[in-house]
Amino acid sequence: MTKRFMIRPALCIGCRTCELACSLTHQEKKTPGRSRIYPLTVGKEQWVPIACLQCDDPACVKSCLVDALRLNDDLGYIELLQERCIKCRACVAACPFGCSLIDEEQEIIVKCDLCEGNPACARFCPTKALEYK
């Protein structure tokens, strides 16, 4: 059975540990601004973690002109093949949740890859607002 990435906004305390874990995993340094997940502030003390929901019918995959996005059935995530990506940003525009992001520093499209089956954000979330099971 394929695991699912679950976000429970009510449990998020806005600590940003998810951003740090993601940036350390993907950039190997603390660069939260380049993270593939971020807590959106929704009021005075409410946050909603924003990350790719790995949709069952992903608009980003449908919008890609060069098949740079595909479902990785083994790990249950939408995989971005950088070598195919032409950086047209169609996937960024197509995502209704704003989860395909642009890394301006590297000039590439980035999206959550669930750390290839072991998401750091979920592993280090102190409140279990993020889970992968």
Domain that holds residue 46: 5-132
The tally of domains found in the chain comes to: 1
Average pLDDT over residues 28-39: 85
What pTM was computed for the model?
A: 0.88
| Model confidence pLDDT, tens digit, residues 104-124 | 888 889 999 999 899 999 999
The pLDDT value recorded for residue 1 is 57
- Per the listing, tokens 């660069």 go with 31
CB 105 within 8 Å of CB 34: yes
Interatomic CA distance for residues 60 and 73, integer angstroms: 16
Interatomic CA distance for residues 37 and 51, integer angstroms: 5
Instruction: Please give the single-letter amino acid code of residue 130.
Output: L
Interatomic CA distance for residues 117 and 5, integer angstroms: 10
| Model confidence pLDDT, tens digit, residues 37-84 | 989 999 888 999 999 999 989 999 999 999 999 998 888 889 999 999
The pLDDT value recorded for residue 105 is 83
Higher pLDDT, 97 or 105: 97
Interior angle at CA 55, CA 46 and CA 97, nearest 5: 40
Interatomic CA distance for residues 1 and 86, integer angstroms: 33
CATH of the domain at 86: 3.30.70.20
Nearest to 113 by CA among 40, 11, 35: 35
The torsion region of residue 6 among left (phi > 0), alpha (psi -120 to 50) and beta comes to: beta
